[in-house]
Structure 1
Amino acid sequence: MAVQNTHGEDMVVRSIRGVPVTEERRPFLNSGGKLQHAGTARANLAPSSESPQGTTSNNWAEKHSHQTVLQQHCDFFDRDHDGVIWPQDTFIGFHRLGFSIFLSWIAVLVIHGNFSYPTCSGWLPDPFFRVFIKNIHKDKHGSDTGTYDTEGRFIPQKFEDIFSKYAEGRNYLTIWDVSNVLKGQRCIADPIGWGGAFFEWLATYLMLWPEDGRMMKEDIRGIYDGSIFYSLAARRSRSL
């Protein structure tokens, strides 16, 4: 399959019949779409084919232009916006999102037990297991989708590849699609990455808990930039 880019040059997406995985997992091809330069990482925007300007509701993109997309993902849990997430902040945040007390404590143990130390500025671990948002890019782990780069930026191509490769181009993921994502993105000898990816996708499914079993693409994008956390918390507080 071949298309022309904006400069009139042919771009070809090839597969190799003798290597079936290249046919099974075809990458996203932005043929004449609104999403330009999909392979270029965005520092503070999380665009998709459906939302090429990122999240515009409630003026999200402008209000958070000073943060990387990965920092935006963490913003909801930083209740006083001082750049530090305490274990109790994570507990309260997950509980506000509808998680039980038990699951909220599990989230605290997983997140602060694994992700606190890399964000510390010095060699010594933080005695309170806090997560420092200015260094959150150091928590990037393997066996993920690659949507965040190692600087905390958002790569639209990698986000779109999730749905192109594992959901046959659909705009939603089922639990079986997520299973394929986890298996397909798994790197060798990377137990921390395997565990991190499993925890993140499990939390995403439990958080969205779609009645029809379909996690919609734009909802997942909203988790990447953190914008959906505020709307989910507000919706659930009104239902109490």
Structure 2
Amino acid sequence: MAETKDHTNSHPSSQLNGIDNTGVYSVPSVPITVERKPFLQPEDRRKLPHAGTPRANVAATYERPNGTTEGDWARRHQNQTVLQQHCDFFDTDRDGVVYPVDTFWGFYRLGFGVILSILAIFIIHPNFSYPTQSSYLPDPLFRIYLDNIHKDKHGSDSGTYDTEGRFVPQKFEDMFAKYAEGRDYMTIKDVARLWNGQRVIADPIGWGGTFFEWLATYILLWPKDGRMRKEDIRGVYDGSIFYTIASRRAKKT
């Protein structure tokens, strides 16, 4: 009787790439999986355990597993999601509502100038106000309610914020692993690759939102060497760096 072969698992292991204790993360026959390698935790996972598990109130990374600790930030903001912390700088009276004028003064304090600060109002509030409303009627004042800020989560982004406003360490680390060759900084070219790589079909609002957010981040940080540091970007996600930059600018005036 002729010998039969089982073809159900006949793919030789030599044709698979990236096999370790995390499993297969790339396949040579699909080049994009080789080009964009995800973040792989070092063998010592005690530093940042369960990187794929979202953190509700801490922007945790491998280098900063406890998030922002300067100024007792993490403890003082333990009752806010990371996305709410990101918006905290603009809610100066702490009423949980961001008015267009709050956005203007927030951007102005960060050094965006009058024109860009006004432009930020017309980009942010018409797009992000309505999803945060508790009623079906739009707010004529275009206010943004931070209790519902998670509803402003849009597509075609990095995925670092989840749909509840939590921070996903794996997704944050993936940005640098996939698009910045594992470096601890990102350039404009890296951001362009991220923007192109994360776009999903038929999502113009998401494309535009991601473009605006990264453009604003670059203007905010304005690195002299063109390198936006990983720690500074993390500080944008939890909003802590806004206070640092505003304080630095206030001392110069």
Question: What TM-score bracket applies, with the shorter chain setting the length?
Answer: over 0.9
Q: Does 1:148 align with 2:176?
A: no
Gaps of 5+ in 2: 1-17
Q: Secondary structure at the match of 1:184?
A: helix
Q: Deviations over 1:67-97 (max 9, x none)?
A: 0000000000001010000000000000000
Report deviation, 1:2.
Answer: 4.5
> Pairwise mapping of residues 3-152 of structure 1 onto structure 2 (< 5 A)?
3=20, 10-31=21-42, 32-33=44-45, 34-152=47-165
Whether the aligned pair in 1 keeps the contact of 2:104 and 2:121 (CA below 8 Å) is yes
- What is the rounded CA distance, in whole Å, between the counterparts of 1:224 and 1:93 in structure 2? 16
**Matching of residue 206 in structure 1 with residue 219 in structure 2:** yes
| Match in the other structure for 2:11 | none
Contact 2:25 2:38 in 1 (8 A): no
Q: What stretches of structure 1 of length at least 5 have no aligned partner?
A: 4-9
| Count of residue correspondences | 234
Which residue identity lines up with residue 71 of structure 1 in the other structure? Q
Write out the 4+ residue segments of structure 1 that deviate beyond 2 Å after TM superposition.
none
AA aligned opposite 1:143: S
CA distance in 2, matches of 1:59, 1:152: 21
Q: Distance in 2 between matches of 1:230 and 1:2?
A: 43
| CA distance in 2: counterparts of 1:11 and 1:84, whole angstroms | 43
Please name the residue that 2:208 is paired with. 195
Q: What is the distance in 2 between the residues matched to 1:213 and 1:100?
A: 21
Contact 2:59 2:234 in 1 (8 A): yes
Return the alpha-carbon distance in structure 1 between the equivalents of residues 25 and 99 of structure 2.
47
SS of corresponding position for 1:14: strand
- Normalised to the residue count of structure 1, the TM-score between the two structures is 0.96
Q: Which residue identity is paired with 1:153?
A: R
Distance 2:146 2:25 in 1: 40
Question: 1:13, CA displacement in angstroms?
Answer: 3.8
Task: Provide the identity percentage.
Answer: 65
Larger radius of gyration: 2
**Is 1:185 aligned to residue 198 of structure 2?**
yes
Offset of 1:14 from its aligned partner?
2.8
> Deviations 1:135-189 (Å, cap 9, x if unpaired)?
0000000000000000000000000000000000000000000000000000000
Task: Give the CA deviation at 1:36.
Answer: 1.0
